[in-house]
């Protein structure tokens, strides 16, 4: 591997950080021992900026490029957002209804499988065809349990490490 840039972040398939690298786990480093890296990162990822600074913490997080997304959302360096589990609120759903359909044709089937509810003079029967369907009100009752659901894309776990030594990056 060629010499990395100081502060370069790289994924590794090991359960350790190679020599000259540190895990991106939010650990604090003393400024006195890593002043060049501090001059690049500052306190973007934490630390007091007097005695120490923090490395980025990518544990359980996905990296995202800073800037303005096509949607217009702005992402700043060091910003954390999102959630692993989310409780979906009714206000997050598009407006919709759940109205039951039934047939206006007299029913002649004794089973509901593959049929629509219909009427008969003596009891409820089912109609084989939706050709003469109508919608009944008021619709379905509330459902759901307001429980959080997983909100993660598929993932593969690797160790992200940051270069503690290397070429000091210059601006273009």
Max avg pLDDT among 51-65, 87-101, 147-161:
51-65
50/2 same-domain check: yes
- The DSSP secondary-structure symbol of 78 reads T
Which CATH number covers residue 25? 3.90.1340.10
Question: Which region, left, alpha or beta, applies to residue 114 given φ > 0 means left and ψ of -120 to 50 means alpha?
Answer: left
The reported pTM is 0.70
Beta bridge partners of 30: 52
Residue 56 and residue 41: Cα distance in Å, rounded?
9
**Phi, psi angles (nearest 5°) of residue 91:** -70, -15
Residue 86 and residue 150: Cα distance in Å, rounded?
7
Could you tell me the residue range of the domain that residue 115 belongs to? 101-136
pLDDT at 67: 96
Contact indicator for 61, 79 with CB cutoff of 8 Å: no
- Does a structural domain hold residue 43? yes
Q: What is the pLDDT of residues 23-57, one digit of tens each?
A: 999 999 999 999 999 999 999 999 999 999 999 99
Q: What is the pLDDT of residues 99-117, one digit of tens each?
A: 777 766 777 777 777 776 7
Residue 19 and residue 14: Cα distance in Å, rounded?
12
20/52 same-domain check: yes
Q: How confident is the model at residue 121 (pLDDT cuts 50, 70, 90)?
A: low
- Does a structural domain hold residue 93? no
Is residue 134 helix, strand or coil? strand
């Amino acid at each position: 591997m060629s010499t990395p840039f100081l502060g370069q972040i790289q994924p590794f398939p090991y359960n350790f950080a190679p020599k000259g690298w540190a895990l991106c786990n939010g650990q604090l480093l003393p400024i006195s021992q890593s002043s060049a890296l501090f001059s690049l990162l500052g306190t973007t990822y934490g630390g007091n900026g007097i005695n120490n600074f923090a490395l980025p913490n990518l544990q359980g997080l996905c990296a995202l490029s800073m800037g303005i997304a096509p949607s217009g959302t702005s992402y700043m360096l060091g910003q954390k957002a999102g959630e692993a589990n989310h409780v979906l609120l009714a206000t997050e759903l598009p407006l919709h209804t759940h109205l039951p359909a039934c047939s206006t044709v007299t029913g002649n089937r004794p089973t509901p499988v593959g049929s629509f509810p219909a009427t008969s003079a003596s009891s409820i029967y089912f109609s084989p065809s939706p050709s003469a369907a109508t919608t009944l009100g008021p619709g379905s009752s509330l459902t759901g349990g307001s429980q959080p659901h997983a909100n993660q894309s598929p993932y593969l776990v690797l160790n992200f490490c940051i270069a503690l030594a290397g070429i000091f990056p210059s601006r273009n």
